[in-house]
Structure 1
Amino acid sequence: MKHAIILHNPVTNSSKEDELDVLNQAIFIETALEELGYSYERAVFNLNTNDLIKLIKNSGASVVFNLVETINESGRLSFTAPAMLELFKVPFTGSDAAAIFTTTDKIVCKTILSFNKIDTPFWAKYLAEVVPEKYYIIKPISEDGSVGIDDALVIRGNEIKEIPKGYFAEEYIHGREFNISVIGGKNEFKVLPPAEMCFSSDYYETKPRILGYKAKWDETSMEYQNTTRSFRFEDVDTNLIAELKEIAGKCWQIFGLSGYARVDFRVGTDNRPKVIEINANPCIAPEGGFVAACNEMKLTSTNIIKRIIDDTIRNETGI
């Protein structure tokens, strides 16, 4: 029987919702692995590489499912997990260390996007770069899952007194938000049906239309209850949707993504898509946006996991 290891970051009773979600992802994967005829076990990632690699080698695993999103409660070093697996020639799912690094660091990501002539909102790392009349959202440089994002961080340029260490200022695009998921496979990647995050016009009339931490993780919050995902579009959006899908496919290729990914966009009144984030290994919990997009394409959980495993990074020498 084939064996898989599900590698994830440590979680405790005091972990936040975005960190605990990795357990939901693990359960989703385990259910599919059973259908695919795999045995499996979980392992917690730590920087004691000798013990961890010994565990993986002794298990006889043919693949490691990499769910590591944070190191010491920070996303900044999440690339170290795939880097370690690459170093020891261990086949693993998802993107490689280089892709994780270049997409997790939002400034590096935006620089690469701009170099490749893909629109992304204007940004400033230093106060001197801020344009006074623009509105900005102050965002963490290296966190995913809307960590550290709330309404108070949307501010006019002339009111910004400082940009804290580890943060940057990104131009706030008042408009629509889209998530485009992409899945790999044995032979080719597929861009999945686009989703729009819809903000209730009544609730968000006087609020910034952003997918902050509460809107994403706090089910009791007004933000969560007034933000919905939709896969239905009017004919007038046909060209826009085609452009979003084309750009998502380009991002997959430019950043060398693998397994599964999601590209997030904002579209303002000019109807021009601007990439705000690329998530190389997005949440794969059943209630998450990636799985929802897969479901729109009639992919079952087993189909999803099989495609991701088929697209696993293959080294010349495996376990």
Structure 2
Amino acid sequence: MTAASVDNTPSLNQGDVVAVVHGAWGDSLDEEDTRIQASEVAESLTRLGMTAPIVALGPDLEQLSAISQHNPKVIFNLVEGLGGLGRRAHEAAIRLAQMGIPITGVSGGLQEVVNSKVSCKLALQAAGFPTPPWTTTGTDVSGDDLWIVKPVWEHGSLDMDESSVVKGSEVAAALAKRRVISPHDHFAERYVAGREFNCSVVAGPTGGQVFGAVEMLFVDYPDQGVRIIDYAAKWDAASFGYHHTPRRFEFSPCDEPLLKRLQTIALDVWQMFALEGYVRVDFRVDAENQPWILEVNANPCLSHDAGFVVTVLRSGINYDALIWRLVQAALGWTALGS
């Protein structure tokens, strides 16, 4: 497949450089996944006729000069953090954009807002979107209702396990403990018992395109047990959760109103933040069928088996076409081939 064969949009010239940039610097499971993602994106770009060098950014960003040496026409940004810190992902995007080269995905300025779950929730709440109550101290909550302790900046599963869900009266102590044992900032959010969904949105020539809602199932979990996608469920192939949290793509007709509502909310969020590139909006739906936005995931994983990618592929868009579409969006669509 060549770039020109994906669609009728004017293409970059064969052999032009699209630099694939990531920030994986350690050996954790999630950072290794980032390296796999970068390889798969580079392979796709190569199939599309591009030259696709991979550059890993270190904590001090010294490798920015290596990007310039490749003279890329586009930077394909896969940076999810720097030096193992997700709170620096937006910093990388800002510095990359300052190079004056088109860059894929959500801009650094918008990442600074949505990557912080607290600032994202503040913006969502101000705009009237439903998001669970939260606290950064725990001193303002009490009682026996359940709350979940999460990292503010890092991907939602980091530091998370069943012990992350505590009673309201225990939140302050749980947050204080995290401040001692973790290098990452944490907050607590009211735990929403119920179903878990996500909706993916991708930029198109006339705006965002929302794809079908996907449900995360909790198979064979105890009836009264806590149901969360924790770190083990996401990354540890030896864990119970990893093998018992499949995705559901097919639904009964009675779910259609809910699914359409989730899609509408996701697209409204895209438009409210004036997002670009590609995002995933994560939801919980309570017993009254009320959706609650948990987070807005900017630049979700592009590995072939990642939920975002699987969702798009099921719509009939193949992997190379998705990657090329993200390049098109970075170039402003009509800028291709100019």
Cα deviations across residues 22-51 of structure 1 (Å, max 9, x unaligned)? 1121122122212221011011113555x5
Q: Say which is worse superposed, 176-185 or 26-35, in terms of deviation.
A: 26-35
* Mapped contact 1:258–1:313 kept (Cα < 8 A): no
Matched, 1:259 2:277: yes
Tell me which residue corresponds to 2:141: 130
Tell me which residue corresponds to 1:67: 78
Q: Residue 45 of structure 2: SS of its match in structure 1?
A: helix
Tell me which residue corresponds to 2:4: none
After superposition, the Cα gap between the structure-2 partners of 1:76 and 1:48, relative to the gap in structure 1 and judged at 3 Å, is closer
* Mapped contact 2:24–2:34 kept (Cα < 8 A): no
> Aligned partners of 1:252 and 1:219: how far apart in 2?
33
Cα deviations across residues 248-276 of structure 1 (Å, max 9, x unaligned)? 11111222322111000000011111100
Tell me which residue corresponds to 2:212: 193
- CA RMSD in angstroms comes to 1.7
Tell me which residue corresponds to 2:23: 9
2:255 to 237, 240, 243: 237
Q: Residue 279 of structure 2: SS of its match in structure 1?
A: strand
Q: Relative contact order: is structure 1 or structure 2 higher (C-alpha 8 Å, sep ≥ 6)?
A: 1
Matched, 1:183 2:202: yes
Tell me which residue corresponds to 1:91: 102
2:17 maps to amino acid: H
Q: Say which is worse superposed, 188-197 or 161-170, in terms of deviation.
A: 161-170
Q: Residue 37 of structure 1: SS of its match in structure 2?
A: coil
1:182 maps to amino acid: V
Report the TM-score when normalising by structure 1. 0.93
Q: Say which is worse superposed, 39-48 or 120-129, in terms of deviation.
A: 39-48
* Shift of residue 56, structure 1, vs aligned partner: 2.4
* Mapped contact 1:96–1:313 kept (Cα < 8 A): no
Identity %: 33
* Mapped contact 1:219–1:225 kept (Cα < 8 A): yes
Report the TM-score when normalising by structure 2. 0.88
* Shift of residue 60, structure 1, vs aligned partner: 1.8
Tell me which residue corresponds to 1:26: 38
Matched, 1:218 2:236: yes
Q: Residue 227 of structure 1: SS of its match in structure 2?
A: coil
After superposition, the Cα gap between the structure-2 partners of 1:145 and 1:122, relative to the gap in structure 1 and judged at 3 Å, is closer
Cα deviations across residues 216-262 of structure 1 (Å, max 9, x unaligned)? 11111111111110111111111111110011111112223221110
Q: Any unmatched runs of 5+ in structure 2? A: 1-14, 180-184
2:158 to 139, 147, 156: 147
Q: Residue 6 of structure 1: SS of its match in structure 2?
A: strand
2:253 maps to amino acid: D
> Aligned partners of 1:52 and 1:86: how far apart in 2?
14
After superposition, the Cα gap between the structure-2 partners of 1:48 and 1:210, relative to the gap in structure 1 and judged at 3 Å, is closer
After superposition, the Cα gap between the structure-2 partners of 1:309 and 1:91, relative to the gap in structure 1 and judged at 3 Å, is same
* Mapped contact 1:151–1:207 kept (Cα < 8 A): no
* Mapped contact 2:150–2:156 kept (Cα < 8 A): no
Tell me which residue corresponds to 1:110: 121
Matched, 1:203 2:221: yes
* Mapped contact 1:192–1:293 kept (Cα < 8 A): yes
